[in-house]
Amino acid sequence: MTDYLWLIIVLPLAGAVLNHFVGRRIGEPRSGWLAVVGVGSAFVYGAVAAVPFFRGGDVAEEAVTSVHLFDWIPGIGATAELLWDPLAATMVMVVTGVGTLIHIYAIGYMHGDERFSRFFTYLNFFAASMLILVLADNFAVLFVGWELVGLSSYLLISFWFSRPSAAAAGKKAFIVNRIGDFGFMVALMIIFVSFGTLSYGPILENPGDVIGVGTATAIGLLLLVGAVGKSAQIPLYIWLPDAMEGPTPVSALIHAATMVTAGVYIVARTASIFELSTVAGGAVATVGALTALLAATIAIAQRDIKRVLAYSTISQLGYMFMAVGVGGYVAGVFHLVTHAVFKALLFLGAGAVIHGMGDEQDMMKMGGLRKKMPLTWITMGIATLSIAGIPPLAGFWSKDEILAVLFERGGYFTVLWAVGLLTALLTAFYMGRQYFLVFEGKARWDEGVEPHESPRVMTNPLVVLAALTVLVGLINTPFRLSFENFLEPAFEAVNIAQGPESAGSITLLAVVSVLAGVAGLVMAYLLYGRADETTRQRMLGLVRRPMFVWENAYWVDRVYGRLVVAPGKRIAVWMAEFVDQVVIDGLVNGVGGTVRRIGGWVRPLQTGFVRSYGVLLAGGAVALVAWIMSRGL
């Protein structure tokens, strides 16, 4: 099966190419279904190829293969090779599985759009890029995928480019990403210099034999810079809320389920390097914790339904970073999987709400939609419970495992555990707030808006995802660590951090985290579910100032604007006006002018008089003879 592993990448890529050339001609919805086939077939292939891993044990270990495609740039150790191991298989199935459902949904969501087939070209292209990223066995291939998903993100965010805000958001995403990519590239350079190659095998087997703690820390921190850009953590998260300008399927696929998880993936991949440096790992975890808390506070005060989910994604990614930072690779990847499912569900549901409300995104103008959109209501309700961490839904199992690992590590990380716990409470609160604002209570929408349920092509994926979010948690419960066993062959070289051993501690921690979630939901219910307007205003009035800060997202964008963007613009203007026009043009024109001037000096020699030419001739001849004679003398 792994002989044709590259098919996983080529199938969606072929879908993209086909859609590019004939998409317009085959029209809606056929180009959409073509794209679905592109990702769907990749999913099937991946699932079948992953069968050995499901068996576990020796069969699984044997099945880990590296597929060599071709030599690329030997000079920098870049070879085109793919790695098939449980981690890659997990990522492939998440990307293609959730991706297929989102593709199907998008057929309904993008109905009537003028550039329908182009959208699916980009979606398939994104899928192919992400698959390159996760299947890479070589940092150079990884980097190619890394860059391509950044490109796809840009193309999809600014899909409705006639809207200036969308175009600006795409630009912002790409530029901020680039900053992270710079750190990533420097890390790759250090890796190449230290190891002499860019292939995973030689590097990740036993990095401790080749590099010391210092180098490992440097590599780890620089990879963190890259991860921070791609996964929207502090300080490079600012592009993600703006990225909500893109169509909702894009937000679901790229900015919730897959692309933003690339950062988590690379930390998990390079686990053996991070193991060597407690500083790097701690930095990852700390960044994750801070981001999780910060984003949760901002989410509490947002009015736009997609922005809440955007900040929620940032926050949940923070959780994943906390996990992989302390060595809880399984916990982190597990949360990645469950988050992909319920966040995609939440986004698609939000999309259904927006679609049904005639493109209204302000939650204050919604309310009481449970009767108008029952399927959407149920599925989003399930997702809300999941993200709040209510058992036995998926969110509970994965979030709880992360908190358990943090607690067990002890020391400094207990602080992070506490932060995680607080964030869990806030998460439950803002998600509950969203639920009550949208689905419960009195209708608050404008005149002329007629909310309705979405067509089947959109609600069916919601149902599937809801079922998944109920079931997928069970792949890794403390009673049966199937997922951990599944991932074991991928993490041979490292120690996977575990939660506490004793059943008592496990139960205690679980109860605590559930309580946090329930508390959050109850608070949301009290404020937004039951209370009438005046009581709510009175209660909110108490926290008016913090809410104001959170609503404005700590004015981070403004600060960046003044600190970074404005000076950058000034430098650009200076370059354009001074350096380009004065210096460079001056130089070029100066060369021309100098030639002219020299010509002007020489031109008078051409007097037109034969006799002056004759004098010059005679003088030249005399000089020549004199020179010849002087050589002989």
Partner 1 sequence: MVELILFVVLSTVVIGGALSMILGRNPVYAAMGMLATLFGLAVIYVIQLAHFVAVVQVIVYAGAVMTLFLFVIMFIGVDKAQSLDEGLAWQRPAVLGVVAAILAMVGGLVLSGRWEWITADRVALSGQVIEIPVPPNGTIESIGESLINRWLLPFEATAVLLIIASVGAIVLAFYRPRRLQSVGDDAE
Partner 2 sequence: MTVTPDWYMTLAAVLFLIGTIGLLLRNNALMMFMSVELMLNAVNLTFVTAGGAVGNLDGQMAVFFVLVVAAAEVAVGLAIIVSVFRSRSTATVDDLAELKG
Cα atoms found within 13 Å of the Cα of residue 196, Cβ hemisphere only: 2
Contact partner, 608, from partner 1, partner 2, none, Cβ < 5-8 Å per class: partner 2
Min dist. Cβ of residue 608 to partner 2 (A): 3
Task: State yes or no: residue 540 binds partner 1 (CB under 8 A).
Answer: no
Return the residues of window 599-618 that contact partner 1 according to CB under 8 A.
Answer: 607, 609, 611-612, 615, 618
Please choose, from the candidates 166, 446, 437, 167, the residue with its C-alpha nearest in 3D space to the C-alpha of residue 302: 437
Q: Is 545 in the site for partner 1 (CB under 8 A)?
A: no
Q: For residue 72, what is the enclosing H or E element?
A: strand 65-73
626 binds, among partner 2, partner 1, none (CB under 5 to 8 A by kind): partner 1
Region of residue 364 (left: phi > 0; alpha: psi -120 to 50; beta: else): alpha
As a whole number of angstroms, the distance between CA 180 and CA 443 comes to 44
Only segment of 16-24, 166-174, 450-458, 623-631 that touches partner 1 (CB under 8 A): 623-631
Give the N- to C-terminal CA distance of the chain in Å, as an integer: 88
Taking the CA atoms of residue 565, residue 566, residue 567 and residue 569 in that order, the dihedral angle to the nearest 10 degrees is: 80
Angle between helices 394-409 and 412-439 (to 10 degrees): 160
604 binds, among partner 2, partner 1, none (CB under 5 to 8 A by kind): partner 2
What are the tokens at 278? Answer: 């407690």
Contact 420, 292 (CB under 8 A): yes
> Nearest approach, Cβ of 602 to partner 1 (angstroms)?
17
Q: Does 594 bind partner 1 (CB under 8 A)?
A: no
Q: How far is the CB of 629 from partner 2 (least distance, A)?
A: 15
Q: Give the nearer residue to partner 2 in terms of CB position, either 539 or 615.
A: 615
Among partner 1, partner 2, none, residue 603 binds (CB under 5-8 Å by kind): partner 2
Closest CA relative to residue 114, chosen from 39, 23, 185: 23
**Strands (DSSP E) found in 402-465:** none
* Binding residues among 267-306 for partner 1 as defined by CB under 8 A: none
Supply the minimum distance, in Å, between the C-beta of residue 572 and partner 2: 46
Comparison of 566 and 623: residue with beta carbon closer to partner 1:
623
Give the span between the Cα atoms of 14 and 34, in whole angstroms: 10
Q: At what angle do helices 86-109 and 329-356 cross, to 10 degrees?
A: 0
Task: Give 496's DSSP letter.
Answer: P
Q: Residues touching partner 1: how many (CB under 8 A)? A: 13
CB nearer to partner 2: pick between 74 and 608: 608
Of the candidate residues 463, 619, 624, 631, the single one contacting partner 1 (CB under 8 A): 619
Residue number with CB closer to partner 2 (76 or 617)? 617
Give the one entry of partner 2, partner 1, none that residue 213 binds, where binding means its C-beta sits below a cut-off of 5 to 8 angstroms depending on kind. none
Closer residue to partner 1, CB minimum distance, 576 or 622:
622
Burial of 235 (0-12, 13-18, 19+ CB in 10 A): middle
Q: Which of 70, 450, 629, 631 binds partner 1 (CB under 8 A)?
A: 629
Q: Which of residues 506-535 bind partner 1 (CB under 8 A)?
A: none
Q: Rg for the chain (alpha carbons), in Å?
A: 30
**Residue 347 structure tokens:** 């986004």
Name the one residue in this structure whose structure tokens are 């003879």.
625
Using CB distances below 5 to 8 A depending on partner kind, what does residue 606 bind out of partner 1, partner 2, none?
partner 2
Residues 365-404 that bind partner 1 (CB under 8 A): none
CB of 599 to partner 1, least distance (A): 21
Strand partners, 70: 80
Q: Pick the closer one to partner 2 by CB: 448 or 600.
A: 600
The owner of tokens 């199992």 is 397
| 442: three-class secondary structure by DSSP | coil
Using CB distances below 5 to 8 A depending on partner kind, what does residue 605 bind out of partner 2, partner 1, none? partner 2
Q: Residue 610's binding partner, choosing from partner 2, partner 1, none, with beta-carbon cut-off 5 to 8 A by kind?
A: partner 2
User: Site residues (CB under 8 A) for partner 1?
Assistant: 607, 609, 611-612, 615, 618-619, 622-623, 625-626, 629, 633
